[in-house]
Every structure is written in structure tokens, then in C-alpha cells.
Amino acid sequence: SSDALCECGGESLLRPPPSPPLAPGIPEGGCNSTTWPDVKEECGACKVLVDNFYTYETCDGYCGHVGRACTAAFEEEDNDCVEETELACDTIHFSSDVLCECGGELLLRPPPSAPPRPELPDGLCDTTAWPDVQEACTEVSPCTVLVENFPKYETCDGYCAYAGRACTAAFEEDDDDCVPDGAMKCNYPLDSSDALCECGGESLLRPPPSPPLAPGIPEGGCNSTTWPDV
């Protein structure tokens, strides 16, 4: 029933009644998500829409960086706070943004520091010799290029190997230009025709493999003089 008769004739309690329980996992003091990294939007108590999600891979990973424990994770609907699909906190989700609820108690140990950015080589990178360079993005870093025909390499790790270097950073691009749209792992297989790759690691000890030939073209070319009806 929506209503009832209550007689409260007993003595007053010596202690006040307990407060209603908090939502599971949400700390009593709430969360100060304004200090959390990569927050695209605050979506409630301890829940945020995380930008650059590739950097953390899982909501466990993200919440660990803010010194908390993940209590819920969701795929978002359209770059907003609308929950579309529930995920496990340890699910590696290949998306640029995800909803993470970091409502668990503060960890006893401090959160891990973000991995240091690898040092770029002392000399500038000679990107003119690298394959499939649509544009050299020196405004991002001396060793960053906009790679075209990216599916041929699958990942920035794969591309940088062809340039005889190691990948130190990878990004989605904004609009076929040098503007990073979202960070991703060097080994992330981005389904795009182009990507931003920073190949700032030291040269590999072995020479890089030759770029793949165009499909179907033999290495020695073709002797078309013997073909019929030419």
C-alpha cells in the first residue's frame, strides 16, 4: 500500500535512527571527480564519462589511476551519460570513451603513476624516408606522422617497425590532419584509413621489413611481351 496508519507512542529513542544506506560502493563523502583525469562529463556520484579510454583499457585501470576501485562500468550511447551496455570492470573495451563508476573505497596504496613518456631521440626523425607519410606532424612532436594506408600496418607498432623505429605514442586523428582526437595504445588495431603515429623509440637492432608489395605484383615485375592480345 502507498500509505498506512502508524502510532508512535513509545519513548523517544536514546540515539537517532540510522541514516538510510548509501548506494552500494559509493563512499559516504562522495567523490571529487573534478580532479580526475580525462573526464569528458560527470554523470552522477562517482561516475564519469572517461575520454581517451585507450590509455586505461579498463575501468579498473582508470579507477586505479584516481586511487579508487571500480564499482560499475558501461558502454555509453552517444558520447553522453546514457548507459547502453553494462560491462565488467576488467573488460578491455576498444572505445574512445566509456562510463566508469569509481565508487570503491580509497586504495590503501597510492594509485600508480601514469607511465612516463619515452624519451625522443636526440636527433630529429627523418620522416621523409618513412613510407605512407601523408603529413609530418612536427607540431605534435618531431617523430609524429599522419600515416595513410593504415590498414596495411594494422597498428602504430607495425608502422613504426617499417620505419626502423619503435612506437612511443599513437592517436586517432581529427579530420585527416595532425590534430590528435584521442590517445590509443601503440598495439591498438585501429579500423581507419589513417592514424597519427609517433615513432620516437630507438632504432631496432634488425632492419625493418620491406613494405608489402601491391597486391598481386610479383617482386621481379611482369614480362608482358609474352602476353596474348597486348
Spatial CA neighbour of 50 closest among 64, 39, 36: 39
pLDDT for 25: 46
Summarised one tens digit per residue, pLDDT across range 12-42 is: 544 554 544 434 445 555 688 888 989 999 9
Q: Are 97 and 40 in contact (CB under 8 A)?
A: yes
In the block, residue with C-alpha cell 620516437: 200
CA–CA gap between residue 136 and residue 200 (Å, rounded):
13
CA distance linking residue 110 with residue 172, whole number of Å: 31
Answer yes or no: pTM beyond 0.75. Answer: no
Residue 211: per-residue pLDDT = 54
The pLDDT tens digits for 60-75 are 989 988 888 999 999 9
pLDDT digits (tens, 9 = 90+) for 153-192: 999 999 998 888 889 889 998 888 999 888 888 888 888 8
Which positions ≥6 away from 212 have C-beta within 8 Å? 152
Nearest to 121, CA basis, from 90, 152, 163: 163
